[in-house]
Amino acid sequence: MKKFKYKLENILQLKERMYEQISMELKEASAKRMYEEEVLNSIAARLNAENKSFSKTTGRKLSSEDLNFKSEKISYLKELLLEQRQIVDELVIKEEEVKLRLIEAYKDKKVHEKLKEKKFEIYLEEEKIAEQNLLDESVTNRYKAVNE
């Protein structure tokens, strides 16, 4: 009985490695997006705190310097928040692209795995037929030997 050998095994292994590599890319992209979202949330919290602080000072007298400083700080935090939101949005888009690549790599891998399974089933059928032929031949030889 000959051993099963899949001719496209190297390609299957390559597809599996590609899938694993893209999977790692997705994990890294997700981690980076989550980190940037945390930064975004901290900026939003700082902006919210500054807005509350500013609203508490409306009843008091403030010097023009303090008013200008608080106003500039809030403006700076708003700009920072917008920039960070753009960064997060870009990372979300990149993450989605990696997800699509991962889906394609998964499909390729599954196609090759199914092909290997089908080739193995064909191999088993051929081996079964060969074994049956061998048994038939041995029975025929015995019958001939007995009748001669």
Domain span at residue 66 reads 9-113
Could you tell me if residue 108 is inside a domain? yes
Overall number of domains in the chain: 1
Contact criterion met (CB below 8 Å) for 142 and 62: no
Tens of pLDDT, residue by residue over 31-86, are 999 999 999 999 999 999 988 887 777 666 767 787 788 889 999 999 999 999 99
Could you tell me if residue 48 is inside a domain? yes
Identify the three-state secondary structure at position 58. Answer: coil
44's tokens? 């939003």
CA distance 21 to 105: 10
* DSSP 8-class letter at 5: -
Could you tell me if residue 140 is inside a domain? no
Confidence at residue 58, expressed as pLDDT on a 0 to 100 scale? 65
State pTM to two decimals. 0.74
CB neighbours of residue 12 within 10 Å: 17
